[in-house]
Structure 1
């Protein structure tokens, strides 16, 4: 495997391929000393300023089975992919692109080029992924109560929900299965979140039934089916762009105008009573007096002259209020096309810190869920500023660690704070500032290093035991998707469980000794994988990608069957949907690759044979000699 990159994702991906899938990896980087964490010790490192043809040939692109350009710049990744395809027409490409539309066009272009060259589009797969898109749903679900990671498979929707021990005892809704038991220290003020690399006793993924029954005091992550709801009517563009009337004037101006209206009404009623005029005529006379355009009440009764004097005084007081209202309204209209400030009275919202690649995707995700937002960004030219302006999301320009910035975002009335800048120390400092203002607030921050995240989580939980604290790593959420795509399989989704990841994939049973010829009960491997559903669709009619939806917008009858009988026997023509850990999925792919070769090529093995075990080629030669 060849991984080309210039940031932490490249190193995390190389470690995923080496540690989980046991693949030899070559890492092509600009400078090995500046990319961040240390890559695996056995990783071959090639340093080159740009992924040109010479650098890719030195990295082994001509012989590699899969290559992943994961630079931060989309143009660099495209150039690397086109060059690698020219060097090795059969290489599997997994390309990191932030621009999703460009990614679709690029995949179509490469497939068309393969067909023109005399091959077929399926000979060498192209997978376009975005780390921001992969991690955004999990990051958004971290801070929003009642929402969770949503998976799509064959037209069905599923969601993973985190439940506390109390919710587990009182919940009555249908649960497909329990995906994980949270760390026993989660409810402990001095506890911490576990992960694969932190060395802490982390959560128990895919536990056995006995373990679930004996862990009533631990939180759990359960999988539920989402019923189809009719789409709600989207608000019109006119209503979205219309400026709310309540935001034109401040509360003081509104109260002042209401007071003047009440005063004018009282004067008109008094005039009608004292003079005997009709109420409409009395109101007309009062308005003329108010704006000083009526004749002086010389020679009129005393009551009429007193009312005229009082009305004139009210008119003089009204003048500065009208000037203030005009200035506020003009200022509101001027800022309607610019960045919005948080409206007065904003409460129960999410403060999003950072509008870079990841923050922009999380912003779009939270807006899709209808969550009120206030964003904080230091760079006025950041990627997400334009999106926030188009979505009418308030943005505070400034450094969140400086005094007054979080206060301007109404942090003391916010529901949660989500810190997603690329700097872990900046995220931590912002979280600590927010804790001083709102000690009980829900916070989630982006941290790369597991050990650092463990120490931060333990300290924050000890200092604020009643507040919810979560930490997430974008690269740890995205790397499994990139790694499985390089192994020739695109997963249906990934769900974070604390700082670990649970994967969902569609697996063909043929060639897997752990599944083929076994019952559903026998296939269960606690802590590694679990069969969730069986695809009952005829093999000739199956869709290759279960995540895909119909392009014509028509409904699709799903062939997935849940609630499987434990004694159901899996045959070679079956396809199942499984939930697996990274190690479990790697083990399944390893056995399948050893039977039919990596990427469907019998001449290639997924990993070197273990000591004492003959390779497939050796066994074949022995069989021919014996014949």
Structure 2
């Protein structure tokens, strides 16, 4: 396996392949990156230690029971394991040859720049047409075209060699992934539902829900499919998330029925299937630049003023009809002429007619500033429709999103698909996500979140949750600490670069605010399992974090796996390793490119998945199943390395 990248995802992916799957890995990184962590990350962690220590000390002084001591950071992780590390500034053809791409089974290109990854993928496909490629691309539309191009090149090369690609050698597939797309559903779900995790793909939506531990003496309700048993310290504010200290039972993934029945006093994670809905129709760029609605064109005060003027005109017309006896339409016409001062003076008419003419002139004078205000408001509305909106008055129950980079943009789109009100905060006026916020008509506050008054402008005191996804760990931490000082019970979700730092921050904030919901997420921690699974040639549908561990969802062909083929669902289930969840009835070939028309027409099962299979169903070689597995369980199921309990604890 060859991994090429310039940030923490490359190191995390190399560690995943080497430590979990036991693969031989060659890691290619820039020369400035000499260790398992980027220098910027090290500086960010060092700068954040002071903030963390101040919070820990404050917790200890406030509680007086040593709760803050539980927030001490864990020992630093070992260096990212790799068979060989190459430090190269540019990923040229010579560097790829030196890394051994010609003999590699899979190549992962996870640079932060799309152009670098595409150029290297084209070169690698020419050097080794049978290598399995995994690309990290932010542009999803471009990624689809590149994936088709590289797969076509591999098919042509295999045909020229006289092979069909179906032998025992590695498949020359191309998979385009995005760390932003992989992490966005989990981040959005944490901000909205708190403890819910969502995996969504191809019309399939799975939701993992944490259930509180039952009362003493009661048995945990397995509900639907039970994915995990939470650790005994999951409800302890000062406990470690997923620790396995003395007297504590850590999280147990994919337990059997006996373990679920015996799990008293422990929370569970159960699986729920949610039928896929696209949510409300999002406004397009053309719709935003069109004519706004009447309610958004004029303010409420101006609308009431116009309504009052119309009532006055109608009253004057009725009075003129009663006094003079003219036709009602003629009375309205004369009133309008008097209103705009274009009628002849009522000299020689009755006193009532003269009084009504004077009142009409007075109403006309009052109408002029109202019409001017309406024109100015309409002009200002048309000017600001294509610009950034400000948070409206009285807004509450919304999500405050910090950062509109590539992660923040994906999270914003996901939140708006769920019809959740969002207010964004961004310091860079040229951020890539501002165009998306403008298109979706989402309020944005431009300013540094660390400055006083910025979070107040985003209505943080009335917000439902705070989602900090900027690229600076210290900025996210400082914003969360300040927001908690304004609203102590605010739900917060942090994106932190380093997983160990995320654990320390999570424990500290949970100890300081035991009644508030806190979640810390590392994007590389969420994305690395999906990239590793794609390098192994299996379609990873998603990953759900269970405390500090990860549970994978994958679509696997039954044929060629003796642990599945010819076995019933009950026999194929292995506690703590894998569990078959559903049967994919779609065609095994061409499913992504040519979906069946019958599947597209069905509303109940748009993805062709059958969930209510009996335990006696026998898996056949031509079946394709969706299963949940641990990382080590998936590695064993792939058959690349036999399980060795003594060597792999």
Deviation at 1:474, TM superposition (A): 1.4
Partner residue in 1 for 2:133:
93
**C-alpha contact (below 8 Å) 1:14/1:39 kept by paired residues:** no
Partner residue in 2 for 1:585:
634
Deviation at 1:16, TM superposition (A): 0.8
Partner residue in 1 for 2:3:
3
Partner residue in 1 for 2:86:
46
**C-alpha contact (below 8 Å) 1:4/1:28 kept by paired residues:** yes
Q: Does the alignment pair 1:160 with 2:197?
A: no
Partner residue in 1 for 2:192:
144
CA offsets, 1:322-354, max 9 Å, x none?
A: 322221211110122223333444443322222
SS in 1 for 2:429: coil
CA offsets, 1:467-520, max 9 Å, x none?
A: 322222211111001111112222232223344321112334556564456554
**C-alpha contact (below 8 Å) 1:418/1:444 kept by paired residues:** yes
Partner residue in 2 for 1:13:
13
**C-alpha contact (below 8 Å) 2:468/2:495 kept by paired residues:** yes
Cα distance in 2 between the residues matched to 1:609 and 1:194: 21
Q: Aligned pair in 2 of structure 1 residues 551, 519: CA closer, same or farther (>3 Å)?
A: closer
SS in 2 for 1:440: coil
Q: Does the alignment pair 1:79 with 2:80?
A: no
Q: Which of 508, 528, 536 is residue 577 of structure 2 equivalent to?
A: 528
Cα distance in 1 between the residues matched to 2:114 and 2:549: 28
Deviation at 1:70, TM superposition (A): 0.6
Cα distance in 2 between the residues matched to 1:74 and 1:258: 56
CA offsets, 1:250-300, max 9 Å, x none?
A: 333333334434444455555556666665555444444443334445566
Q: Which of 423, 431, 440 is residue 489 of structure 2 equivalent to?
A: 440
Partner residue in 2 for 1:206:
254
Q: Aligned pair in 2 of structure 1 residues 202, 310: CA closer, same or farther (>3 Å)?
A: farther
Q: Which of 553, 574, 590 is residue 504 of structure 1 equivalent to?
A: 553
1:233-252 to 2 correspondences below 5 Å: 241-252=290-301
1:84-483 to 2 correspondences below 5 Å: 84-117=124-157, 118-119=160-161, 122=165, 123-145=171-193, 149-152=198-201, 157-165=204-212, 176-191=224-239, 193-194=241-242, 203-215=251-263, 217-227=265-275, 241-269=290-318, 280-297=329-346, 305-483=354-532
Partner residue in 2 for 1:625:
none
SS in 2 for 1:194: coil
Q: Aligned pair in 2 of structure 1 residues 236, 383: CA closer, same or farther (>3 Å)?
A: closer
SS in 1 for 2:118: helix
**C-alpha contact (below 8 Å) 2:12/2:80 kept by paired residues:** no
Higher mean Cα deviation, 70-79 or 370-379? Answer: 370-379
Partner residue in 2 for 1:623:
none
Cα distance in 1 between the residues matched to 2:214 and 2:335: 64
Cα distance in 1 between the residues matched to 2:372 and 2:243: 61
Report the count of equivalent residues: 588
**C-alpha contact (below 8 Å) 1:176/1:225 kept by paired residues:** no
Q: Aligned pair in 2 of structure 1 residues 110, 297: CA closer, same or farther (>3 Å)?
A: same
Q: Aligned pair in 2 of structure 1 residues 53, 234: CA closer, same or farther (>3 Å)?
A: closer
**Which consecutive residues of structure 1, in runs of 5 or more, have no partner in the other structure?**
596-606, 612-627
SS in 1 for 2:101: coil
Higher mean Cα deviation, 40-49 or 252-261? Answer: 252-261
Partner residue in 2 for 1:622:
none
Q: Aligned pair in 2 of structure 1 residues 55, 282: CA closer, same or farther (>3 Å)?
A: same
1:476-495 to 2 correspondences below 5 Å: 476-495=525-544
Cα distance in 2 between the residues matched to 1:292 and 1:222: 75
**C-alpha contact (below 8 Å) 1:165/1:216 kept by paired residues:** no
Q: Aligned pair in 2 of structure 1 residues 106, 229: CA closer, same or farther (>3 Å)?
A: closer
1:547-566 to 2 correspondences below 5 Å: 550=595, 554-555=600-601, 561-566=610-615
**C-alpha contact (below 8 Å) 2:18/2:81 kept by paired residues:** no
**C-alpha contact (below 8 Å) 1:69/1:96 kept by paired residues:** yes
Deviation at 1:163, TM superposition (A): 4.2
Partner residue in 1 for 2:105:
65
Cα distance in 1 between the residues matched to 2:244 and 2:355: 84
Deviation at 1:18, TM superposition (A): 1.6
SS in 2 for 1:491: strand
Deviation at 1:62, TM superposition (A): 3.1
* RMSD value, Cα: 4.0
**C-alpha contact (below 8 Å) 1:477/1:494 kept by paired residues:** yes
Partner residue in 2 for 1:29:
29
SS in 2 for 1:144: helix
Deviation at 1:114, TM superposition (A): 3.1
CA offsets, 1:59-104, max 9 Å, x none?
A: 2323322211110001111122222233333322111111222222
Q: Aligned pair in 2 of structure 1 residues 354, 325: CA closer, same or farther (>3 Å)?
A: same
**C-alpha contact (below 8 Å) 1:195/1:498 kept by paired residues:** no
Cα distance in 2 between the residues matched to 1:413 and 1:530: 43
SS in 2 for 1:62: helix
Partner residue in 2 for 1:599:
none
Cα distance in 1 between the residues matched to 2:208 and 2:25: 36
Cα distance in 1 between the residues matched to 2:566 and 2:205: 28
**Which consecutive residues of structure 2, in runs of 5 or more, have no partner in the other structure?**
43-77, 166-170
Q: Aligned pair in 2 of structure 1 residues 549, 358: CA closer, same or farther (>3 Å)?
A: farther
Higher mean Cα deviation, 208-217 or 225-234? Answer: 225-234
Q: Aligned pair in 2 of structure 1 residues 331, 487: CA closer, same or farther (>3 Å)?
A: same
Higher mean Cα deviation, 181-190 or 269-278? Answer: 269-278
Higher mean Cα deviation, 348-357 or 202-211? Answer: 202-211
**C-alpha contact (below 8 Å) 1:152/1:547 kept by paired residues:** no
Partner residue in 1 for 2:58:
none
The TM-score normalised by the length of structure 1 is: 0.81
CA offsets, 1:376-398, max 9 Å, x none?
A: 22222222222222333333322
Q: Which of 570, 588, 599 is residue 543 of structure 1 equivalent to?
A: 588
**C-alpha contact (below 8 Å) 2:445/2:454 kept by paired residues:** yes
Cα distance in 2 between the residues matched to 1:81 and 1:274: 88
SS in 2 for 1:507: strand
**C-alpha contact (below 8 Å) 1:492/1:547 kept by paired residues:** no
**C-alpha contact (below 8 Å) 2:495/2:520 kept by paired residues:** yes
CA offsets, 1:147-176, max 9 Å, x none?
A: 7514457xx73422414439999xxx9954
